[in-house]
Amino acid sequence: MSKNTMEKLDISLGGRSYPLTLSPDEVDVVQEAAKAVEAQIAQLKSQYAISDRIDLMAMAALQIAVQAQASGKSPKSQATAETSWPSEQIEHLLQRIQSAL
């Protein structure tokens, strides 16, 4: 994949911006995942007295992972239509995010 086909995207999670370089095919998947995480963070904030950003992000990630394991499917944004996310693609994106940090 050439660098010309890559897109730069800033994702906001828990009040922090994370710059990513993605293929056009990955952009929608990453945006949907970020929406799911932000929705989970908002839900946690409204239900519990958690104010630490790191704690909120960790608990949101844990809840999304538990939901994915329990359903046998990948996490879905509550605000969007259902999307099927291949686990291999998610693993690849997680590795790329980790290397960017």
pLDDT at residue 10 is higher than 70? yes
- Helix residue ranges per DSSP H, 1-101: 24-47, 53-71, 87-100
pLDDT above 70 covers a percentage of the chain that reads: 68
Find tokens 């992000």 and name the residue. 57
Q: Which pLDDT value is given to residue 82?
A: 44
Stated pTM of the model: 0.62
